[in-house]
Structure 1
Amino acid sequence: MCAGRIDEYGYLADGRSGALVGRDGSVDWWCPSRFDAPSVFGRLLGDDGGHWWIRPAGEYQVERSYLDDTLVLRTVFSTEEGSVAVTDALALDAEARGHDIGRSPPGLFLRLVEGLSGHVPMVMSYAPRFEYGRVRAYLEPHGETSIARATGSTLGMTATVPVQHWETEATASFTVGPGQRETFSLSHSSTYHEREPMPVDVPAVLADTVEGWRSWLATHPYTGLYPDLVRRSALILEGLTYQRSGAVVAAATTSLPVRPEGHDNYDYRYVWLRDFSLTLRVLSVAACPVEAERLFRWIAEAIGDVGIEPIPIVLGVEGERDLSERELGVLTGHVAIGPVLLGNDAWRQRQQDALGQVLDAAWLLRERLEPMPDDVRRLLRSLTEQAADTWRLPDSGIWELRGEERHHVTSKVGCWMALDRAVRFGGVLGSAGDLKRWAAVRDEIRAAVLEQGWNPRVGAITDAFGSDRLDASVLILPLVGFIDAADPRMRATIGRIDQELTTDGLVRRWPGDSAGFVICSFWLVGCLALAGERDRATALFESLTKRSNDLGLFAEQIDLDTGEHLGNLPQAFSHIGLISAAWRLTAAATGRPTPVSTAI
């Protein structure tokens, strides 16, 4: 049995990892230790990856939703015999979050089955596969708990219904009547360092997890337009956060394809500086200043002393640098579209825009960095000098293109942003002579971008110096304060992208691309709002938000013909785009300033 469409999945999180649950009640992805750890359920990427499903034995229809203000998923199955609800959650990791919001140990999956009407026959299949499906462990019954051990990990699945064991799979058949409850829990621990799995009070821990999510959101009041959408996306970003460090991963999955031929299957379970200041900005918009400050301090520590070497543009969740990419031959890929990759060789690339991302983030948090720590000052000075010295170099660009480096416009703008923010800091970062020199280089970069990035034959700012190709990445120029959206050159660029790269509100990155890139579509919303086209921006925003799946989740891209989501899920970049576009519309409608000095 194959996994379903990417957009048929719901997302659960616990502060250190995430899980995907399909509409069929199957847990098809979970890497319990941390986001980039080996999976124990990997059916998402191939039938041999392992699964854990609970669902009606016969035909059924599905309605599902998150419990209000949580990442706790409730799926209602309706059958001819009656209806039943399955509530799924990862118990929040109180240790990782740093405060007491839960009574449970980390690595605990909760499943509660409740009869709503009639008597519904149910089936369960539990088939863990360690190390991305490489290892099938024997299941050993210990009372109500099924124990599986392999590769230094122990899984203990406890059920309140009778379970049959078939070496590497456990199954159950049971019937649920009105008001009847059956519970299932799955704990993950180290075989060598932690205690044996113990049964847990599933309803109590589930209620505690619900309260944990709601208490977090209650302390982060958002007061702009589209509050329900923004709150949902803020929850998803929180669910993509590795709480021990504060790092926000790009997505919870690896190798979900963006095109049928299977190219560009990448592992996104890492932290990109490309997303850094954008993440901080939306955390501020969503009233999450503590999370924003924590993320910045982690990034500053993880980068360390840069010197003359290129800044590391992607890191592991605990600051790891070497993320060498390799192909996993065990699994065939989502709907047999491979390859399945672990690691990401983008860590080897030069991406000049990352310099500006860090300086911009520091400027955003300037009040919370007073007085500025010496290590932060040294880092920011080092990045500023690197931008001044290397801005003329080609790089791999914001889209991490593999091949020949080019003079990407957005990379030059990233260097401009680094110098611009450094000059704004004034004497905090440099002497009068430093500031004068940085300002001169900043102005030189801006002049070069406007001269060499603008192509009069195309009538737009293009992707790279001397190029004639449109690229939606240049929509960020007015959003970071480089150029006014109403400037004739930018206005013409927005018009060309709107005309040539946009289909039914979905913006492709470049001509010939087969799918709309979600954040680019939200960038267009922001640009239209800044250009004074508020009605058009509002209509585009509302059409885009309707393209999420039924739970409000976005992957990276959306197929122009079918509307199917493509790429890793959930995608932080996409939800960052939604929040920032909502705030830009709020500012346009109310005249309220953004919470930071430059536009999102």
Structure 2
Amino acid sequence: MRKDLLRREPVRSMSSRPIEDYALLGDRKTAALVARDGSVDWLCWPRFDSGACFAALLGGPEHGHWQIAPADPAPRVSRRYRKGTLVLETEFETAAGAATLIDFMPIDDGRSDLIRIVVGRRGRVTMRTELVIRFDYGAVVPWVTRLEDGTGLRAIAGPDMLTVRTPVPLRGEGMTSMGEFTVAAGERVPFVLTYSPSHLTSPPAPAEAEGALAATEASWLTWSARCRYGGDWREAVHCSHIVLKALTYAPTGGIVAAPTTSLPERIGGPRNWDYRFCWLRDATFTLLSLLDAGYREEAQSWQDWLLRVAAGSPSQMQIMYGVAGERRLLEWEASWLPGYAGSRPVRVGNGAAGQFQLDVYGEVVDALHQARAAGLSHSEPGWALQRALVEHLETIWDQPDEGIWEVRGGRKHFVHSKVMAWVAFDRAVQSVEHWGLSGPVKRWRGLRARIHEEVCQKGFDPELDSFVQSYGAKHLDASLLLIPQVGFLAPEDPRLRGTLAAIERRLVRDGLVLRYDTEATADGMPPGEGAFLACSFWLADNLMLQGRRAEARALFERLLALRNDVGLLAEQYDPQARRQLGNFPQALSHLALTNTARNLSMTTGPAKRRANAGRTPT
């Protein structure tokens, strides 16, 4: 054991970088976030939902990070992804010269590596590397030894092992592995960090870091070339699809909502959630986005994942699952982490997995309906599952639930939930009428009509001239913007025009949309959060559907400008502080971006196509 591990670890403070300061790396099994200064501050291995070995994002360097940067304390920095890939290039310029840090995670090679290559561009640049490995979200200090062949270090604790290989000599200082080197123009210095279970022997070194770079770039370019979107904002749409691909857990096809946990919806507040799981609510958005981009194989994998996790008793269907379909997502707090910018608690797992949310039944049935309409392979067991879900929904649709936003303030009759129950029955009716599938269509038609009438009577407030968040409430909710998109009412319906106008008056801040007013709505948490980016894209969709195309395009352009320098979006945005909030990057934000781009670029975009799937009652 290294002698420095016997000393007490010094605690160093680090002010949290802006969320938009990070770029994403991934191998379709897990993901890393790297800051502009070359520090990898978040990485969970071997899966998205595994314990983090670098958790500085939610604390400080002492909780794990890996920085490679010039010794010069104030270099000029710029960065970009290589076009069509997730290969990141960070350019450092100093008075002595310039160097590029190339970061990537190889895909499709059966390994799990994070590879970093420093390339000299001009002059001679002195570089430093600082590696702090802390397993289990920064809690566990590993046993660090040198590799027998002298090419690097091995860090082991419990089930986990990391191996770092590099020609740069590394030394231990205060439980940190340090190294300095100089890179001249034309020189290339590699670092390879590899994860493997600790009970196995150290994995062999990769054949060549340069070969892995070429193979990774080629794989991404081949995948990106399949994207058939050719409308406006092509670069932004392609970038968003790369994010969705990176958030896909390749072994199963599940797509996580984000690769992070506990990035706050309000700095210093408690609205900090673990998003490293797969939400059924995103099913239709995901399917339509992948299909429209020409990624049928990925859409098929997503549909297959959906069928597997939803299988079983309909009464036990959850709103979210683990990447392999796990059901137990117990929520606990990592009390030793101070949280991003002091935002506590830091949560692992998500207690909302046990909530009752009616809308997911509509999302699953609608997604499978859209898949059938698109010609994806389906089976009789698939329809049997849909029918079982709808038949169970017959017994529960009239119950209150926790709603789309997973409130922790008690169940209500949320309007969005009832609308999505209507969607489930509507799509079931169409499946019988259009494809000749078997089912009690007369009964389903009756329930569809009954729910529609109830929502219009109890969910619409004539005084506000708007639909409301829940029956009898005076509060609005941005989820109401989905009503025309699912075909419940036509966009030109006066009640929807009134709803849109009310949302613009009450929920729009600096042109962006709040989910709901947390100051006025009791949701079980202290008030305060940023504008919700997906809802802001939904507003653009509604403006377009109501013929306000110029306003829709202007809003969409405003939202695109909120992306960071490498095209990434978090869950929310603070218009006053002008910074991103919430888990990052957020799949739903990028899904909404791709769908809105298509809505504005295509004659029949996803919003119109999904709306047309529903028969709008008169």
Instruction: Identify if the C-alpha distance between structure 1 residues 403 and 197 changes in structure 2 by more than 3 Å, giving closer, same or farther.
Output: farther
Equivalent residue of 2:475, what SS? coil
Equivalent residue of 1:170, what SS? strand
Is the 8 Å Cα contact of residues 548 and 554 (structure 1) preserved in structure 2? Answer: yes
Higher mean Cα deviation, 218-227 or 32-41?
218-227
Q: Tell me, yes or no, if structure 1 residue 111 matches structure 2 residue 125.
A: no
Equivalent residue of 1:365, what SS? helix
Equivalent residue of 1:350, what SS? coil
Deviation of residue 444 (structure 1)?
1.0
Is the 8 Å Cα contact of residues 282 and 579 (structure 1) preserved in structure 2? Answer: yes
Is the 8 Å Cα contact of residues 540 and 553 (structure 2) preserved in structure 1? Answer: yes
Equivalent residue of 1:585, what SS? helix
Give the alignment partner of residue 325 of structure 1, picking from 323, 327, 331.
Answer: 331
**1:438-462 deviation per Cα after TM superposition (whole angstroms, max 9, x unaligned):** 0110111111111111111222111
Give the alignment partner of residue 491 of structure 1, picking from 474, 493, 497.
Answer: 497
Q: Which residue identity lines up with residue 447 of structure 2 in the other structure?
A: V
Equivalent residue of 1:120, what SS? strand
Matched residue, 1:224 = 231
Q: Distance in 2 between matches of 1:148 and 1:371?
A: 46
- Output aligned runs, 1:111-190, within 5 Å: 111-142=116-147, 143-166=150-173, 168-190=175-197
Count of aligned residue pairs for this structure pair = 586
Q: Distance in 1 between matches of 2:372 and 2:442?
A: 21
Equivalent residue of 2:143, what SS? coil
Q: Distance in 2 between matches of 1:372 and 1:344?
A: 31
Instruction: Identify if the C-alpha distance between structure 1 residues 368 and 284 changes in structure 2 by more than 3 Å, giving closer, same or farther.
Output: closer
Deviation of residue 495 (structure 1)?
1.2
Q: Distance in 1 between matches of 2:589 and 2:377?
A: 34
Matched residue, 1:43 = 56
Q: Tell me, yes or no, if structure 1 residue 262 matches structure 2 residue 276.
A: no
Equivalent residue of 1:354, what SS? helix
Matched residue, 1:53 = 67
Matched residue, 2:341 = 335
Matched residue, 2:5 = none
Q: Distance in 1 between matches of 2:536 and 2:449?
A: 29
Matched residue, 2:569 = 554
Matched residue, 2:616 = none
Deviation of residue 321 (structure 1)?
0.6
Is the 8 Å Cα contact of residues 381 and 430 (structure 1) preserved in structure 2? Answer: no
Q: Which residue identity lines up with residue 49 of structure 2 in the other structure?
A: D
Equivalent residue of 1:535, what SS? helix
- Output aligned runs, 1:341-380, within 5 Å: 341-367=347-373, 372-380=378-386
Q: Which residue identity lines up with residue 586 of structure 1 in the other structure?
A: S
Gaps of 5+ in 2: 1-13, 520-527, 614-618
Q: Distance in 2 between matches of 1:199 and 1:166?
A: 27
Matched residue, 2:594 = 579
Matched residue, 2:537 = 522
Matched residue, 1:449 = 455
**1:506-540 deviation per Cα after TM superposition (whole angstroms, max 9, x unaligned):** 11112345421000000001011111111110011
Is the 8 Å Cα contact of residues 319 and 360 (structure 2) preserved in structure 1? Answer: yes
Is the 8 Å Cα contact of residues 101 and 117 (structure 2) preserved in structure 1? Answer: yes
Higher mean Cα deviation, 137-146 or 549-558?
137-146
Q: Distance in 2 between matches of 1:445 and 1:169?
A: 61
Deviation of residue 311 (structure 1)?
2.1
Matched residue, 1:403 = 409
Q: Tell me, yes or no, if structure 1 residue 284 matches structure 2 residue 297.
A: no
Instruction: Identify if the C-alpha distance between structure 1 residues 435 and 371 changes in structure 2 by more than 3 Å, giving closer, same or farther.
Output: farther
**1:29-77 deviation per Cα after TM superposition (whole angstroms, max 9, x unaligned):** 1112100001111111112320100001111121111110011111111
Equivalent residue of 1:155, what SS? strand
Is the 8 Å Cα contact of residues 22 and 33 (structure 2) preserved in structure 1? Answer: yes
Q: Tell me, yes or no, if structure 1 residue 10 matches structure 2 residue 10.
A: no
Is the 8 Å Cα contact of residues 257 and 265 (structure 1) preserved in structure 2? Answer: yes
Q: Distance in 1 between matches of 2:309 and 2:515?
A: 30
Matched residue, 2:3 = none
Is the 8 Å Cα contact of residues 285 and 579 (structure 1) preserved in structure 2? Answer: no
Q: Distance in 1 between matches of 2:509 and 2:163?
A: 49
Higher mean Cα deviation, 233-242 or 309-318?
309-318
Q: Distance in 2 between matches of 1:496 and 1:593?
A: 24
**1:5-42 deviation per Cα after TM superposition (whole angstroms, max 9, x unaligned):** 11100001101000000011000111121000011111
**1:394-430 deviation per Cα after TM superposition (whole angstroms, max 9, x unaligned):** 0000000012100001100111111111111016575
User: What is the CA RMSD across the aligned residues, in angstroms?
Assistant: 1.8
* TM-score, reference length from structure 2: 0.92
Q: Distance in 2 between matches of 1:260 and 1:592?
A: 36
Equivalent residue of 2:594, what SS? helix
Is the 8 Å Cα contact of residues 329 and 350 (structure 2) preserved in structure 1? Answer: yes
Q: Which residue identity lines up with residue 35 of structure 1 in the other structure?
A: F
Deviation of residue 275 (structure 1)?
1.1
Q: Distance in 2 between matches of 1:599 and 1:171?
A: 60
Q: Distance in 1 between matches of 2:249 and 2:292?
A: 20
Instruction: Identify if the C-alpha distance between structure 1 residues 167 and 201 changes in structure 2 by more than 3 Å, giving closer, same or farther.
Output: farther
Q: Distance in 1 between matches of 2:65 and 2:605?
A: 48
Is the 8 Å Cα contact of residues 506 and 521 (structure 1) preserved in structure 2? Answer: yes
Q: Tell me, yes or no, if structure 1 residue 477 matches structure 2 residue 483.
A: yes
Q: Distance in 1 between matches of 2:612 and 2:63?
A: 44
Q: Distance in 1 between matches of 2:245 and 2:288?
A: 14
Q: Distance in 2 between matches of 1:568 and 1:371?
A: 34
Matched residue, 1:100 = none
Identity %: 38
- Output aligned runs, 1:531-550, within 5 Å: 531-550=546-565
Equivalent residue of 1:323, what SS? coil
Higher mean Cα deviation, 112-121 or 28-37?
112-121
Deviation of residue 596 (structure 1)?
4.5
Gaps of 5+ in 1: 95-103
Deviation of residue 217 (structure 1)?
1.2
Deviation of residue 262 (structure 1)?
1.9
Higher mean Cα deviation, 507-516 or 47-56?
507-516
**1:556-600 deviation per Cα after TM superposition (whole angstroms, max 9, x unaligned):** 00002011111111100100110111111013xx46787955369
Deviation of residue 499 (structure 1)?
2.3
Deviation of residue 177 (structure 1)?
1.5
Q: Distance in 2 between matches of 1:239 and 1:267?
A: 18
Instruction: Identify if the C-alpha distance between structure 1 residues 106 and 444 changes in structure 2 by more than 3 Å, giving closer, same or farther.
Output: same
Equivalent residue of 1:40, what SS? strand
Q: Distance in 2 between matches of 1:336 and 1:213?
A: 37
Equivalent residue of 1:598, what SS? helix
Equivalent residue of 1:215, what SS? helix
Instruction: Identify if the C-alpha distance between structure 1 residues 150 and 197 changes in structure 2 by more than 3 Å, giving closer, same or farther.
Output: farther
Instruction: Identify if the C-alpha distance between structure 1 residues 40 and 429 changes in structure 2 by more than 3 Å, giving closer, same or farther.
Output: farther
Q: Tell me, yes or no, if structure 1 residue 507 matches structure 2 residue 513.
A: yes
Deviation of residue 2 (structure 1)?
3.5
Q: Distance in 1 between matches of 2:589 and 2:595?
A: 10
Higher mean Cα deviation, 7-16 or 189-198?
189-198
Matched residue, 1:439 = 445
Is the 8 Å Cα contact of residues 400 and 412 (structure 2) preserved in structure 1? Answer: yes
Is the 8 Å Cα contact of residues 152 and 170 (structure 2) preserved in structure 1? Answer: no
**1:335-386 deviation per Cα after TM superposition (whole angstroms, max 9, x unaligned):** 2221111100111101100001111111111156677423212210011112
* TM-score, reference length from structure 1: 0.94
Higher mean Cα deviation, 20-29 or 378-387?
378-387
Matched residue, 1:78 = 93
Q: Which residue identity lines up with residue 44 of structure 1 in the other structure?
A: L
Q: Distance in 2 between matches of 1:367 and 1:521?
A: 28
Higher mean Cα deviation, 590-599 or 79-88?
590-599
Higher mean Cα deviation, 296-305 or 435-444?
296-305
Q: Distance in 2 between matches of 1:592 and 1:574?
A: 17
